[in-house]
Structure 1
Amino acid sequence: MTREVGRTEDGRWLVVDGRRWRAADPALPDDVRARLLHHLGVARSAVRSAGRTGDDAALAAARARVRLAKTGLGERGTAWWEQDDAARRARWEAALSALDAPGG
């Protein structure tokens, strides 16, 4: 299946098969982006596992981790282009702090 993927001229949105999705914050340092994407992948896997087993508590926790990782990436919450540099850094640092915490 071939998907049509593009970006808006301002770089704020990805367009996949005509549907718009917020792009990740381009100011993210490469190491921060890699860590957040790792957390996102692990959380998405946990969503699938919890869904298969019917564990509602685990499913809710995994979805919260997905939301946190996507917020850290700038794909959720206040739009990254509406934040100054300090707020953008605080956003990704808070997300990583919560995701890296034991049991987080």
Structure 2
Amino acid sequence: MPALLTPDRRYLIVRARLWRTSNPELSEAMRQHLVNELMDARRAVKDAKASGDAEAMVAARKAVDRAKKGLGERGPVWWTDGAPDYNRHMVKNTPYAAWFAALSDDEAA
């Protein structure tokens, strides 16, 4: 099943929650570099959890945050029209609610 994106492609919807997508203006090379950094950082979080190393965990989580900010998934929004950020909000509590409800109605039919 393909990922469900909002019509403006700003958010990915997972379990009825909005998650900000990466900045589409990033070059493919930069996006891939940041994704690689993110995956490395996530592996570091896993390793720190397994080892119980609190300092390594702090460093790994900071690395995840840096990569996500670089991708545009956290921090300042990447769009320029002044629209607010609904990252991590439930779709039903955002301006996308009617659009999402209509999708659900279509699936039920």
Name the TM tier (shorter chain). Answer: 0.7 to 0.9
Give the drift of 1:16.
Answer: 1.3
The answer to whether the 8 A contact 1:5-1:17 is kept is no
2:76 is the alignment partner of 1:78: yes
In the alignment, structure 1 segments of 5+ residues that lack a partner are: 84-104
In the alignment, structure 2 segments of 5+ residues that lack a partner are: 82-109
For the residue of structure 1 that corresponds to 2:79, the secondary structure is helix
Moved over 2 A (4+): none
After TM superposition, the structure 1 = structure 2 runs for residues 85-96 of structure 1, keeping only pairs within 5 Å, are none
Q: Paired residues, what number?
A: 81
Q: Percent identity?
A: 43
For the residue of structure 1 that corresponds to 2:55, the secondary structure is helix
Instruction: Answer 1 or 2: higher relative contact order, Cα 8 Å, separation at least 6.
Output: 2
In terms of Rg, which structure is larger?
A: 2
Match of 1:24 in 2: 22
Q: Which is helix-richer, 1 or 2? A: 1
Aligned-CA RMSD value: 1.6
2:56 is the alignment partner of 1:58: yes
* Deviations, residues 8-30 of structure 1 (Å, cap 9, x unaligned): 01111110121110000000100
